[in-house]
Amino acid sequence: MNKLRKIFTLDSIIVPLVAILLGLIVGAIVMLIGGYNPIEAYVALLKRVVGNPYDLGETIRQITPLVLTGLGVAFAFRSGMFNIGADGQVLIGMTTATAVSLSFSGLSSTFLVPLAVIAGGIAGGLWAAFAGYLKAKRGINEVITTIMMNWIALYLSNYVIRHFFLLKGQNRSEDIGASAAMTFLADIFNNARVHWGAMIALLAAVFFYVYLWKTKQGYEMRAVGFNANAAEYAGMNVGRNVVKAMFISGVFCGLAGTFEVLGVFHYQSVFAASPGYGFDGISVALLGMNHPFGVVLGGILYGVLTYGSAGMSFAVGVPPELIKIIIGSIIFFIAAQGIVRFVLKPFYLKRKKEKVL
Nearest-angstrom CA–CA distance, 262 and 180: 8
As a whole number of angstroms, the distance between CA 70 and CA 249 comes to: 9
Helical ranges in the chain per DSSP H: 2-7, 15-34, 38-50, 53-78, 86-103, 109-138, 142-160, 197-214, 216-226, 228-233, 238-259, 277-287, 292-315, 321-335, 337-356
pLDDT of the residue at 121:
96
The pLDDT, as a whole number, for residue 300 is 92
The answer to whether residue 42 is domain-embedded is no
Q: Is residue 258 part of a domain?
A: yes
Q: Could you tell me which residues are beta bridge partners of residue 173?
A: 166
Note whether residue 250 is domain-resident: yes
How many CA atoms lie less than 13 Å away from 50 in the CB half-sphere? 5
Phi and psi at residue 289, to the nearest 5°: 55, 35
CB environment 219-250: b (16+ within 10 A), e (fewer): ebbbbbbeebeebeeeebebbebbbbbbbbbb
DSSP code of residue 269: B
CB-based contacts of 264: which residues, under 8 Å, 6+ apart? 61, 193, 195
Q: How much is the pLDDT for 255?
A: 96
Instruction: Tell me, yes or no, whether 103 lies in a domain.
Output: yes
- Judge whether 105 and 95 are in contact, CB under 8 Å: no
Domain annotation covers residue 334: no
The CB density around residue 194, as the number of other CB atoms within 10 Å, is: 26
Cα 305 from chain centre: 14
Whether 259 is covered by a domain: the verdict is yes
Contacts with 184 (C-beta within 8 Å, 6 or more apart), sequence order: 194, 195, 196, 198, 199, 263
How many domains does one find in the chain?
1
Task: State the helix-helix crossing angle for 109-138 and 86-103, rounded to 10 degrees.
Answer: 140
- As a whole number of angstroms, the distance between CA 105 and CA 90 comes to 22
- Any domain includes 31: no
Determine the pLDDT at residue 352.
54
Give the CA angle between residues 82, 85, 90 to the nearest 5°. 130
206 is in which domain, residue-wise?
A: 62-289
pLDDT, tens only, 81-122:
999 999 999 999 999 999 999 999 888 888 899 999 999 999
Distance (Å, rounded) from C-alpha 193 to C-alpha 288? Answer: 25
Low-confidence ranges of the chain (pLDDT < 50): 4, 7-8, 356
What's residue 4's pLDDT? Answer: 47
**pLDDT tens-digit series, residues 5-18:** 554 455 557 777 88
For residues 31 and 36, what is the distance between their CA atoms, to the nearest angstrom? 5
> Has residue 323 been placed in a domain?
no
